């Protein structure tokens, strides 16, 4: 069984080399050439696999993207938009399960580099947009589709962050559920008519005010 002319999995090798070097020497003190060299390739080849130096940290995002779309597309007839989105968020969790440490290391990098956070945000936005598209194909109209999708991503962002920090290490899935509940609570009973009964959590007892 002759091996190919080149070592296989160039893409993965590059991604791994990058992650290692970023952690060892920091993001900006690692040049693309360094990464390529460590993977046994050249800079030019790196840019054939990744459009960007940043992109090397976002390998799994296509798979996530697809998972979201198919999950929403396959939701049972009559599922409410936000429930379809919730199902999609749920369907994302396996990608992170048992990888909390790895994910956390990645987040540390993102926290230190705005350019990387920018990339993360546009990936999330692109997922929201795809989710909205899919909802629209199911007959959901605007602005409902976009709002359900964007709200879902908002929940995911918050849940994800809390999952990473959770000392009790509860499932991401659990945090998503909590986030959704909290979103419903936050949007319920507000607007022009204040609730008769104060919600929960009065840090400072205050008189009800209207707007």
Partner DNA sequence: AGTAGTGATGTCAGTAGCTGACATCAAGGG
Partner DNA sequence: CCCTTGATGTCAGCTACTGACATCACTACT
Given DNA, a second copy, none, residue 147, with its beta carbon under 5 to 8 Å by kind, binds a second copy
Distance separating alpha carbons of residues 170 and 63, to the nearest angstrom:
24
Q: How far is CA 81 from CA 64, 72, 94, 186, in A?
A: 19, 9, 22, 18
Nearest to 138 by CA among 64, 94, 97, 77: 77
Interacting span for DNA (CB under 7 A) from 43-51, 105-113, 166-174, 180-188: 43-51
39 interacts with a second copy by CB under 8 A: no
CA angle 23, 26, 31 (to 5 degrees): 110
4 lies in the site for DNA, by CB under 7 A: yes
| DSSP, res 158 | H
Nearest distance, CB of residue 62 and DNA, angstroms: 17
**CB hemisphere CA count around 83 (13 angstroms):** 7
* Residue with smaller CB distance to DNA, 32 or 72: 32
Q: Is 18 exposed, middle or buried (0-12, 13-18, 19+ CB in 10 A)?
A: buried
* Interacting residues with DNA between 52 and 71 (CB under 7 A): 52-54
| Of 1 and 141, CB closest to a second copy | 141
Q: Which residues ranging from 44 to 63 are in contact with a second copy (CB under 8 A)?
A: 62
Distance between CA 101 and CA 168 in Å, rounded? Answer: 14
Site string for DNA, 75-114 (x = CB under 7 A): ----------------------------------------
Distance of alpha carbon 41 from alpha carbon 10, whole angstroms: 8
Stretch that binds a second copy, among 22-30, 40-48, 93-101, 133-141 (CB under 8 A): 133-141
Of 34-42, 95-103, 117-125, 192-200, which segment contacts DNA by CB under 7 A? Answer: 34-42
Contacts with DNA by CB under 7 A lie at 2-6, 10, 28, 30-33, 36, 40-45, 47-49, 51-54
């Amino acid at each position: 069984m002759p091996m190919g002319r080149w070592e296989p999995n160039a893409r993965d090798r590059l991604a791994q080399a990058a992650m290692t070097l970023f952690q060892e020497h920091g993001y900006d003190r690692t040049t693309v050439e360094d990464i390529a060299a460590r993977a046994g390739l050249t800079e030019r080849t790196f840019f054939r696999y990744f459009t960007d130096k940043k992109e090397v940290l976002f390998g799994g995002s296509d798979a996530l993207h697809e998972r979201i779309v198919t999950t929403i597309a396959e939701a049972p007839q009559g599922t409410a938009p936000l429930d379809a989105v919730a199902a999609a968020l749920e369907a994302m969790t396996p990608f992170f399960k048992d990888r909390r440490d790895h994910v956390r290391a990645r987040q540390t990098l993102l926290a230190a580099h705005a350019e990387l956070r920018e990339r993360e945000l546009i990936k999330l936005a692109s997922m929201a947009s795809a989710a909205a598209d899919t909802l629209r194909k199911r007959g959901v109209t605007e602005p409902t589709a976009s709002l359900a999708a964007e709200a879902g991503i908002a929940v995911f962002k918050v849940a994800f962050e809390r999952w990473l920090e959770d000392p009790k290490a509860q499932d991401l899935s659990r945090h998503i559920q909590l986030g959704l509940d909290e979103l419903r609570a936050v949007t319920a009973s507000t607007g022009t008519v204040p609730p008769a009964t104060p919600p929960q959590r009065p840090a400072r007892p205050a008189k009800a005010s209207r707007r």
